[in-house]
Each structure stands twice: as C-alpha cells, then as structure tokens.
Amino acid sequence: MSDDDGDHKVARSTERRRGPSTYTLSFGGIIAVAGLVASGVATYNTLQNDIATLKRGELYQERTNERLDDEIKSMRAEQRETLKEFNDKLDRIIEKWTRGRKP
C-alpha cells in the first residue's frame, strides 16, 4: 500500500456528505407532519360526532319504540273492551230473537 492509497482513504472518510441530513426536518416536512396531525384530529372529531349522532338516534328509536308499544297496548285494551261490548250486545240480540221466535 502506498501513501497515496492511504490519503485517498482518509480523504474519503473525512469527506462531508452533500444534501440534507436524514435527521434534519425541513420546513416542508414540518408542514406535512402538521397537516397529517390536523387531518388525524379532524377525522377523530368527525368519528366522535358520528358516534354521538348514532347514539342519539338509537336513544330516539328506543323511546319511539317504547311509546309505540304503549300505544299498541292501549289500542289492544280498547279493542278488547269494544269486542266485549259487541259480544254482549250480540248475545242480547240473539237472546231476544230466539225468545221472539218461540210460539
């Protein structure tokens, strides 16, 4: 090995690299990271709002179902009462009709 070879090795090892360092953030990189963070926060907020909306809708649906169940029960009770009255009247009519037909 000659001295020239040794000088070239030393020159290569002390030679500075050209271009930005892999550890250096540029202004554009900072903007890009900030944009990603802002996008993530916006997406998170949107999802939270959607979940809250779904929960409100679910609660509204449950209340509507309960109200409709109560109305159906009330209508069934009214229907039973009406049918009972109708059957009673029908029984009286039949009773009068059968009594009137006997000689």
Could you give the number of structural domains in the chain?
1
76: domain range? 27-102
Phi-psi region of 19 (alpha: psi -120 to 50; beta: other; left: phi over 0): left
Q: What is the pLDDT of residue 28?
A: 82
pLDDT tens digits along 40-92: 999 999 999 999 999 999 999 999 999 999 999 999 999 999 999 999 999 99
- Radius of gyration over alpha carbons of the chain, in Å? 44
End-to-end CA distance of the chain: 147
SS3 content of the chain, % helix, strand, coil (to 5): 85, 0, 15
Would residue 1 count as lying in a domain? no
Q: What is the pTM of this model?
A: 0.47
Would residue 9 count as lying in a domain? no
- How far is the C-alpha of 85 from the C-alpha of 87, rounded, in Å? 5
Would residue 14 count as lying in a domain? no
pLDDT tens digits along 20-51: 666 666 888 888 899 999 999 999 999 999 99
